[in-house]
Structure 1
Amino acid sequence: MSKKIRWLALLTLLVFVGGALLTGCGSSGTGGKKETYPAKSIEFVVPFAAGGGSDIMARMLVKVITDNKLCSQPIAVNNKPGGSGSIGYAYVAEKKGDPYYIASVSSSFYTAPIMGKSPVSYKDFTPICGLAMDTLLLVVREDSKYKSVKDVIDDAKARPKGVSVGGTSGTSDDAVMFYAMQDRTGTEMKYVPYNSGGEVMTALLGGHVDIVWTNPGEALGHLQAKKVRALAVASKERLSALPDVPTLKEQGIDLVLAQFRGIIAPKDIPQEAVAYLETMFKKVAETPGWKEDYLKKNMVEGRFMNSKEFAQALVDTTKMYEEFLAKMKK
């Protein structure tokens, strides 16, 4: 083979290899075209069992998104309960840089890291948006001997650890309220944790616990069916949907507790994905379906926050819980 032929063969090989390498460098192997987000289905992780407040919100969000065609790809809810929410949150945190995973935020997202019961905190995620403010109701069975918060306190003082209180986990807002109420009233009660708000209500109805702290939406159906009664609400003012239920403060206990419900994603996801998700959820918050079927029906206050605002809210809420829990230890 002549030198000229060998050089032509080598040049042809270099051109072929170089072209292959350039093709391989294109986004998603599409000939250099940038992939438009979302290009596949999105997994919506709920760190608690079905039936609780986080699950109710997630499934309503997906329904509104689907009904209004707000996402070009399907969104599937995946319940990953356990470890006071830490299992589900750790699962999402491990997907660093992957915009196809999102999760709902509830109180244990803030409290579990503070209590040393979660390996991840808000610093390990990308805040997408805030959607609502939720509070707590103190609920008993319809046939309960307790007619007021005073009745509960009096019985707890007479029978230390004799009054059982159902909740979702040792790091949830209901657990924080449980310990705070004990601290303020000088009582000792028994906390019984379950995997979700739905399980808590089942335990109450079955007579396995005496009282529960629960989100209004989790108790609503049972309240309407007159299977349970609400003795108090932990908000600053009475709920418009339950005007006859007094606040704790009205009953002599100066405690107010509410939680932000929102959406997070793994850390370091593309800004394009953050913008898409933020816009999508903002559109959800503006729909009649969300306002009527979720906010009004579940007695939740709508409060949309964009990614930047929600990032600050995560910091502020974590600080609030840190101060709240520190006072309880004193």
Structure 2
Amino acid sequence: MRITAHPRARWTAAIGTAALAAAALAGCSADGGAEPATGDGGAAALTAVDVIAPADPGGGWDQTARALSAALTDEGLVDSAPVTNIGGAGGTVGLASLATETDAATLMVTGSVMVGAVETNASENRIEDMTPIARLTEEPLVIVVPDASEFESIDDLVDAIVDRGPEITVTGGSAGGIDNILAGQLLVAAGVDAADVPSTLNYIPNSGGGEALTMLLGGTAQVGISGVGEFAESVESGDLRALGVSSAEPALALPDAPTLQDEGIDIDLTNWRGLLAPGGISAEEEQQLVDLVTQLAESPAWAEAVEANGWTDAFQAGEEFQAFLDVDIAQTQETLRTIGLTS
């Protein structure tokens, strides 16, 4: 197997000094052909990876990136896994950075939000141009309001948006992302024509859960939509109230919050998160990243992180993840057209 040199020396061959000396003395194999020194199994070993969170600190992508970094190093799978935040435009700024990355040992968090943002931002860089490594988790979304809000139920909220339109401010992730999609689906389910959704819904995108919380508590926004892990602590503290979660079953992190289906709204929507590597890496490099993340997914440290954040394990890797991604992109494109966010 070929071992490729990389700019930041992320890969070290698992070959001992004695083996190298023996290979140099032998010079060739028994049948006369050159025989590369490959150690046990022939693969290079990753010693470090760079992790990109394509959002500002405080949101779900940042939480995922830091949990990933901690688990990788705690389990000794790599020596270091520094996290870099590159926020903006629903992750498409981070995606553009990944498109120019020359170090194959780079993992960027991705997910449903980015799939939608690529479409609504008409991003020049697309997820399909990168290397899919794995889907890690999924979690439902939660719709929250400040504790003192006038809205006591999801029906109260939807009726107010239908009647009062842009007077009601809703904040969530990037325009066209899964939070925006859920808000649009709520209005369509209430009978709003898809063509009227953009003018009826006053949606203020934010770059992470921390910003959304500041807007909600500061009165800049009246309603927030995000993954349950981002708002669970504020709901438990009493600063926010959960009007509904988007999954068919109660959310692990907010078991007392009603589901939208409990409230008579036929929506079942979950937010997945996964990992991409730069496009154009070799098959060997891709496989090593898949193997590394597969080891991570099977580790106790990662299981603890998934439980602590209220996520659901949804691990898929390699070709299985690629197939899922193809379907998700196509479905998101159709959904965005259906709720009037793209043409």
User: What TM-score bracket applies, with the shorter chain setting the length?
Assistant: 0.7 to 0.9
Q: Name 1:169's counterpart in structure 2.
A: 174
Quote the offset at 1:100 in angstroms. Answer: 2.3
> What SS does structure 2 have at the residue aligned with 1:213?
strand
Does the alignment pair 1:320 with 2:331? yes
CA deviations 1:109-142 (Å, max 9, x no partner) are 2112322431122221111111111220001112
> What SS does structure 1 have at the residue aligned with 2:166?
coil
Q: Name 1:57's counterpart in structure 2.
A: 64
Q: Name 2:232's counterpart in structure 1.
A: 220
Quote the offset at 1:40 in angstroms. Answer: 6.3
Does the alignment pair 1:136 with 2:148? no
Residues paired across the two proteins, number? 302
Q: Which TM-score applies when normalising by structure 2? A: 0.81
Quote the offset at 1:49 in angstroms. Answer: 0.4
Contact 1:217–1:297 (8 Å) recurs in 2 = no
Quote the offset at 1:241 in angstroms. Answer: 3.9
Pick the aligned partner of 2:308 from 297, 301, 315: 297
Q: Report the more deviating stretch, 154-163 or 28-37.
A: 28-37
Does the alignment pair 1:238 with 2:243? no
Q: 1:168 to 1:116 in 2, by over 3 A?
A: closer
Does the alignment pair 1:257 with 2:263? no
Contact 1:86–1:117 (8 Å) recurs in 2 = no
Does the alignment pair 1:155 with 2:160? yes
Letter in structure 2 aligned against 1:43 = D
Contact 1:109–1:121 (8 Å) recurs in 2 = no
Quote the offset at 1:37 in angstroms. Answer: 4.2
Q: Name 1:281's counterpart in structure 2.
A: 293
Q: Name 2:282's counterpart in structure 1.
A: 270
Higher Rg of the two aligned structures = 1
Q: Name 2:93's counterpart in structure 1.
A: 87
Q: Name 1:78's counterpart in structure 2.
A: 84
- In 2, Cα distance between equivalents of 1:247 and 1:139: 12
Letter in structure 2 aligned against 1:76 = P
Q: 1:238 to 1:39 in 2, by over 3 A?
A: closer
Q: 1:124 to 1:28 in 2, by over 3 A?
A: closer
Q: 1:192 to 1:116 in 2, by over 3 A?
A: closer
Quote the offset at 1:36 in angstroms. Answer: 6.4
Q: Name 2:27's counterpart in structure 1.
A: none
CA deviations 1:209-229 (Å, max 9, x no partner) are 111111111012112212111
Letter in structure 1 aligned against 2:185 = A
- In 1, Cα distance between equivalents of 2:165 and 2:337: 23
- In 2, Cα distance between equivalents of 1:39 and 1:169: 33
- In 2, Cα distance between equivalents of 1:166 and 1:230: 14
Contact 1:194–1:200 (8 Å) recurs in 2 = yes
Q: Name 2:28's counterpart in structure 1.
A: none
Q: 1:28 to 1:157 in 2, by over 3 A?
A: closer
- In 2, Cα distance between equivalents of 1:39 and 1:282: 14
> What SS does structure 1 have at the residue aligned with 2:262?
helix
Letter in structure 1 aligned against 2:214 = T
Quote the offset at 1:267 in angstroms. Answer: 1.4
Aligned-residue Cα RMSD (Å) equals 2.4
Quote the offset at 1:108 in angstroms. Answer: 3.0
Q: Report the more deviating stretch, 216-225 or 29-38.
A: 29-38
- In 2, Cα distance between equivalents of 1:144 and 1:66: 43
- In 1, Cα distance between equivalents of 2:65 and 2:288: 18
Q: Name 1:307's counterpart in structure 2.
A: 318
- In 2, Cα distance between equivalents of 1:240 and 1:109: 24
- In 2, Cα distance between equivalents of 1:39 and 1:137: 38
Q: Which TM-score applies when normalising by structure 1? A: 0.84
User: Which ranges of structure 1 fall in alignment gaps of 5 or more residues?
Assistant: 1-25
Letter in structure 2 aligned against 1:113 = V
- In 2, Cα distance between equivalents of 1:288 and 1:225: 29
Pick the aligned partner of 1:115 from 117, 120, 128: 120
Q: Name 2:74's counterpart in structure 1.
A: 67
